[in-house]
Structure 1
Amino acid sequence: MKSLLKKLLVPHHLEYLALDKDFLIQETSLQVQRFADFPEEVTAGSDVRLPFPELVGTEEILIEIFEGRLPNFEFKAITRILENGSRLYFDMYIVEFRNDDNYQRLIIFFEDVTDRMGLEQTLVQATNEMNILLSTLAATNNYVEKIITSIAEVLLVTTASGKIKKINQATQDLFGYSESELVGQQINALAAEGESLQAVSQQQPQSSQTNVEVVCTAKTGEKFTVAFSCTAIPSEIQGISQTMAALQDFVYIGRDVTDRERARKRKLAQYVTTRILSTSETIKKALTAILPVICDSLGWDTAELWMPEAGEKLLSGSKRITAVSDPNLLRCAASWTKGSVSIPKFAKFGEQMTCGLGEGLPGLVWASGSPEWIADVTESDSCLRREIAAAEGLHGAFAFPILGDCEQENSENSVLGVMTLFSCEVRSLDEELLQTMV
Structure 2
Amino acid sequence: MLKLSQNLLALGLTKKLSNANTSRESLLSRATDSKRLVPMENEKLNFSIVENLKEVIFQTDQAGQLTFLNSAWTEITGFTLDESLGKNFLEFIHPDDRLLHWEKFQSLVESHQDQCRYHLRCLTKNGSLGWLEVYACVILIEGNGAIVISGTLNDLSGHKHREQLLIAQQAAINVLAESTSLKEAIPKVLQAICENLEWVRGEFWSAAEQAKTLRCLESWQIPVVPLSEFENATRNITLAPGIGLPGRVWVSGEAIWSADLTKDSSFCRTKIAAAVGLHAAFAIPIIAEDEMLGVMLFFSHSSQQPDTDLLQVMAVIGCQLGQFIKRKQAEEELQRQNLSLQFQLHQAAEYVRSLLPAPLTGALTIEQQFVPSLQLGGDIFDYYWLDANNLVVYLLDVAGHGVRSALLSVSVLNLLRTQSLYNTDFYQPWTVLAELNRVFQINDNGNDYFTIWYGVYNQLNRKLVYACAGHPPGILLSAHPDAAPIIELSTANLPIGILSDSEFDDDSCEIQPGSTLYIFSDGAYEIPHPIDKNWELKTFVKFLADYQNSGNGNLEEVLDYIQSMNNNKALDDDFSLLKVNFA
- TM-score bucket (shorter structure): 0.5 to 0.7
CA distance in 1, matches of 2:206, 2:55: 45
CA displacement at 1:206 relative to structure 2: 4.7
- Residue 310 of structure 2 is matched in structure 1 by 433
Kindly indicate whether the alpha-carbon contact (under 8 Å) linking 1:380 and 1:386 is maintained by their aligned counterparts in 2. yes
Q: Looking at CA atoms only, which structure, 1 or 2, has the larger radius of gyration?
A: 2
1:147 aligns with 2:49: yes
Asked whether the 8 Å contact 2:165–2:313 carries over to 1, the reply is: no
Provide the C-alpha distance between the structure 1 equivalents of 2:141 and 2:308, rounded to a whole number of angstroms: 43
Q: Which residue of 2 aligns with 1:307?
A: 206
SS of residue in 1 equivalent to 2:95: coil
Partner of 1:201: 105
Task: Give 2:125's aligned amino acid.
Answer: K
In the alignment, does 2:139 pair up with 1:233? Answer: yes
Specify the alignment match of 1:116 in structure 2. Answer: none
SS where residue 347 of structure 1 aligns?
Answer: helix
SS for the counterpart of 2:302 is coil
Q: 1:415 matched to which residue of 2?
A: 292
Listed as ranges, the matches of 1:276-425 within 5 Å are 276-310=175-209, 327-405=211-289, 414-425=291-302
Give 1:153 deviation, angstroms: 0.9
Cα drift, residue 435 of structure 1: 2.1
CA contact (8 A) 1:225 1:261 kept: yes
Does residue 162 (structure 1) correspond to residue 33 (structure 2)? The answer is no
Aligned to 1:127: 18
Letter in 2 for 1:127: S
Query: What is the CA-CA distance between 1:369 and the residue it aligns to?
Result: 1.3
The superposition leaves residues 182-234 of structure 1 with CA deviations (integer Å, 9 ceiling, x where unpaired) of: 11111111112233244443467654463x11111112222111121112222
The one-letter code sitting in structure 2 at the alignment partner of 1:174 is: I
Among 258, 270, 275, which residue is 2:157 paired with? Answer: 258
Q: How much has 1:397 moved relative to structure 2?
A: 1.1
Matched residue SS, 2:83: helix
Provide the C-alpha distance between the structure 2 equivalents of 1:341 and 1:179, rounded to a whole number of angstroms.
32
* Cα distance in structure 1, aligned partners of 2:123 and 2:177: 38
How far residue 139 of structure 1 moved from its aligned partner, in angstroms, is 6.1
> Is the CA contact 1:268–1:297 (under 8 Å) kept in the aligned structure 2?
yes
8 Å Cα contact 1:187-1:198 kept in structure 2: no
Does structure 1 conserve the Cα–Cα contact (< 8 Å) formed by 2:168 and 2:192?
yes
Secondary structure of the corresponding residue to residue 232 of structure 1: strand
Post-superposition Cα deviations, 1:148-195, rounded to whole Å, max 9, x if no partner, equal: 212111222111111111111110111112212211111111112233
Give deviations 1:62-81, integer Å, cap 9, x for gaps.
xxxxxxxxxxxxxxxxxxxx
Distance in structure 2 (CA, Å) of the matches to 1:429 and 1:201: 36
TM-score, normalised via structure 1 length: 0.59
Query: Match for 1:167: what amino acid?
Result: L
Aligned to 2:88: 186
Aligned-partner residue type, residue 183 of structure 1: L
Q: Deviations over 1:14-43 (max 9, x none)?
A: xxxxxxxxxxxxxxxxxxxxxxxxxxxxxx
Letter in 2 for 1:374: S
Q: Distance in 2 between matches of 1:350 and 1:424?
A: 17
Amino acid at match of 1:432: D
Distance 1:415 1:252, change over 3 A: farther
Matching residue of 2:351:
none
* Distance of 1:149 and 1:432 partners within structure 2: 30
Cα-to-partner distance string for 1:74-97 (whole Å, 9 max, x where unaligned): xxxxxxxxxxxxxxxxxxxxxxxx
Q: Is contact 1:366–1:401 with CA below 8 Å preserved after alignment?
A: yes
Unpaired segments ≥5 residues, structure 1: 1-122, 131-137, 239-243, 311-325, 406-412
Secondary structure of 2:218's counterpart equals strand
Aligned 8 A contact 2:56 2:70 in 1: yes
Q: Residue 33 of structure 2 corresponds to which residue in structure 1?
A: none
Paired with 2:259 and 2:269, the residues of 1 have a C-alpha distance of 15
Distance 1:236 1:353, change over 3 A: farther
1:308 and 1:417 in contact (8 A); partners too: yes
CA shift digits 1:264-283 (9 cap, x unpaired)? 22222222222222222212
- Residue 177 in 1 paired to residue 79 in 2? yes
CA apart distance, 1:389? 0.9
Mapping of residues 48-87 of structure 1, within 5 Å: none
Q: Secondary structure of 1:329's partner?
A: coil
Q: Show structure 1 runs of 4+ deviating over 6 A.
A: 123-126
How has the CA–CA distance of structure 1 residues 302 and 127 changed in structure 2, closer, same or farther, with 3 Å as cutoff?
Answer: same
**By how many angstroms is 1:390 displaced?**
0.9
Give the whole-Å Cα distance in 2 for the aligned partners of 1:377 and 1:231.
Answer: 43
Which SS does the other structure have where 2:214 is aligned?
strand
For the residues of structure 1 that align with 2:176 and 2:84, how far apart are their CA atoms?
Answer: 48
Q: Which amino acid aligns with 2:241?
A: L
Measured after TM superposition, the shift of residue 328 of structure 1 is 2.7
Q: Which residue matches 2:121?
A: 215
Aligned residue for 1:67?
Answer: none
Aligned residues: 279
Q: In structure 1, how many angstroms separate the alpha carbons of the residues matched to 2:49 and 2:301?
A: 38
Identity percentage of aligned residues: 28
Q: In the alignment, residue 75 of structure 2 is paired with which amino acid?
A: D
Deviation at 1:297, TM superposition (A): 1.3
* Cα distance in 1 between the residues matched to 2:261 and 2:310: 18
Q: Counterpart amino acid of 1:437?
A: M
* C-alpha distance in structure 1 between counterparts of 2:173 and 2:17, whole Å: 50
Q: Determine if contact 2:169/2:313 at 8 Å carries over to the other structure.
A: no
Question: Which residue in 2 is equivalent to 1:410?
Answer: none
Give 2:45's aligned amino acid.
Answer: Y
Q: CA deviation at 1:235?
A: 2.5
For the aligned residue pairs, the C-alpha RMSD in angstroms reads 2.5
Say whether the 8 Å CA contact 2:56–2:152 is kept in structure 1.
Answer: yes
